[in-house]
């Protein structure tokens, strides 16, 4: 991702706002959840402790996300927290009689990721009481995380993690393929794969696993199996090496 893409991406347009958080540990857990998904903008509205982001419990729960804590801003009102945002989403498990439209995390993430003109705030409330109605009513939408209705309790850090994950997935889109962890080799060519099938068939005949006068559907099934894997050149070479050793042990070269 180049600099121009980053500057207009959701990673720089999304802010997490925690309102009147009681436990410094929850602030640290939220910072950790944000950082693991690539987000850094954290604002605290009237936390219980003025130095909440610097307390030992917050630092311990942040587990390496101390930079997010260090850069967190503490403000005295929701108006200050939302000052340069033009779109706000309240996060609540409790639906209100009078509230903005209700949406889910995935739909919200998809919509805001697609609109580069939005500076988005996700607003989460106090651990015990959630968000007051007057703050919910200031928001454009209310996000309800579709948890188990028999037990829908998410702690603050977990809620931030769910939201940050969905926003990351929406922001990256097709780029996820290019950022997958692990080695990815060159895809094997059709000629290479066909040569491997012929070599493998010879080996299977040599060990009497495949009877050439009655092959039935073994080779078509094997081809179907390997076709689902997306064979790479090195993998084809490995399979041909196995076939070569089988033939060598059977006295055929």
Mean pLDDT of 247-251: 87
The C-alpha atoms of residue 253 and residue 1 are separated, in whole angstroms, by 50
Q: Mean of the per-residue pLDDT values for the chain?
A: 88
The CATH code of the domain at 3-178 is: 3.40.1280.10
Place of tokens 């939005």: 118
Query: Does the structure show a pLDDT above 80 at 154?
Result: yes
In the chain, ranges of CATH 1.10.8.590 domains? 190-249
Pair 197, 220: CB distance under 8 Å: no
| CB contact at 8 A, 14 and 39 | yes
Q: Which of 20-29, 143-152, 201-210 has the highest mean pLDDT?
A: 20-29
Q: What is the pLDDT of residue 83?
A: 93
pLDDT of residue 6: 41
The answer to whether the CB of 33 falls within 8 A of the CB of 91 is: no
**Tokens 């692990």 sit on residue:** 182
Nearest to 88 by CA among 130, 136, 120, 41: 120
42 vs 183: CA distance, rounded Å: 34
* The pTM of the whole model exceeds 0.75: no
What is the average per-residue pLDDT within 2-23?
A: 80
- Flag the least confident range among 71-75, 156-160, 210-214: 210-214
Boundaries of CATH 3.40.1280.10 in the chain?
3-178
pLDDT at 153: 79
Task: Please tell me the predicted confidence (pLDDT) of residue 96.
Answer: 74
Q: Which of 120, 139, 123, 132 is nearest to 94 (CA)?
A: 132
In eight-state DSSP terms, residue 150 is T
Distance of alpha carbon 63 from its chain centroid, rounded? 19
> What CATH architecture does domain 190-249 belong to?
Orthogonal Bundle (1.10)
Q: What is the pLDDT of residue 102?
A: 92
* Range from 78-87, 144-153, 169-178, 181-190 that averages highest in pLDDT: 78-87
Identify the pLDDT of residue 175: 64
């Amino acid at each position: 991702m180049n600099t121009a893409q980053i500057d207009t991406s959701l990673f720089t347009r999304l802010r997490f706002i925690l309102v009147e958080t009681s436990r410094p540990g929850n602030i640290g857990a939220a910072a950790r959840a944000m950082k693991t998904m690539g987000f850094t903008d954290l604002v605290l509205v009237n936390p219980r402790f003025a130095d909440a982001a610097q307390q030992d419990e917050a630092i311990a729960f942040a587990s390496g996300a101390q930079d997010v804590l260090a850069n967190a801003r503490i403000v005295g009102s929701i108006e200050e927290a939302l000052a340069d945002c033009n779109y706000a989403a309240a996060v609540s498990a409790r639906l209100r009689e009078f509230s903005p439209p209700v949406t889910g995390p995935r739909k919200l993430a998809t919509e805001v990721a697609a609109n580069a003109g939005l500076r988005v705030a996700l607003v989460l409330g106090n651990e015990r009481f959630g968000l007051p109605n007057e703050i919910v009513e200031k928001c454009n939408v209310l996000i309800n995380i579709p948890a188990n209705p028999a037990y829908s309790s998410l702690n603050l850090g977990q809620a931030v993690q769910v939201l940050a994950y969905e926003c990351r997935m929406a922001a990256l889109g097709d780029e996820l393929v290019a950022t997958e962890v692990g080695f990815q080799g060159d895809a094997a060519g059709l000629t290479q794969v066909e040569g491997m099938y012929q070599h493998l068939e010879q080996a299977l005949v040599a060990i009497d696993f495949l009877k050439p006068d009655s092959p039935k559907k073994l080779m078509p099934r094997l081809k179907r199996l390997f076709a689902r894997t997306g064979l790479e050149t090195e993998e084809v070479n490995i399979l041909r090496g196995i076939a070569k050793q089988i033939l060598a042990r059977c006295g055929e070269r």
